[in-house]
Chain A
């Protein structure tokens, strides 16, 4: 089992603030990284697929960057809104096609 760490574990921000959090993974044997958003009482939904040759990903106010050499990915949220409140999960996929989830970052946006 590989160690995929997310930090911080939880985060409270004011509406309108920008924020970011980190997914750290082993720098070797990288194949892909997925980011998922998991709202309370709903199913996790995919946000981004990050691949070795991929550029920064962006979806509205949310973007993600990837550094495979040093083994981390950042997720940025610009101008946080209450509807952004969720747990954000990253999943590291190895060359052997094994998938390992991080523990998640729980974001709460305070109106």
Chain B
């Protein structure tokens, strides 16, 4: 089945710890995205990548890091510098984002909580 897989579904972070959220897609999409959702807010863009080995900061990149070593994978690391990491994280992918019709396909999300 083609799709986007996020893991884990739930993740707990201790103070001062870095944690990594996994996102894998087998849709052959070039572009991948990470969003954060907080209660009462829309999805906010953390990072995106248009192509392998390239990525750009989104609106709220501070305290996060990403890599894009393979087309299929776009892991997100929540670093200890992110002081308020508790949120729901969604990964998405699409064909090149330059085309308006290129809708995004989403994973099921990871809920991160701080212990």
Q: Is A110 an interface residue, CB under 8 A from the partner?
A: no
Q: Which residues of A contact B105 (CB under 8 A)?
A: 43, 46
Q: Is B16 an interface residue, CB under 8 A from the partner?
A: no
Q: Which one, B4, B43, B44, B100, contacts A89 given CB within 8 A?
A: B43
Q: Which residues of A contact B4 (CB under 8 A)?
A: 43
A100 to B33, CA, bound (A): 13
Number of interface residues of A (CB under 8 A): 25
Residues from 64 to 97 in B contacting A, C-beta threshold 8 Å:
90, 97
Q: How far is the CB of A73 from chain B (nearest CB, A)?
A: 14
Q: Is A86 an interface residue, CB under 8 A from the partner?
A: no
A103 to B42, CA, bound (A): 4
Binding site for B on A (CB under 8 A): 1, 4, 9, 31-32, 34, 36, 41-46, 49, 51, 89, 91, 93, 97, 99-104
Chain A to chain B contacts (Cβ below 8 Å), 9 pairs:
A41-B108, A43-B105, A44-B106, A46-B104, A91-B104, A99-B97, A101-B35, A102-B42, A103-B40
Binding site for A on B (CB under 8 A): 4, 35, 40-45, 59, 90, 97-98, 100-101, 103-109
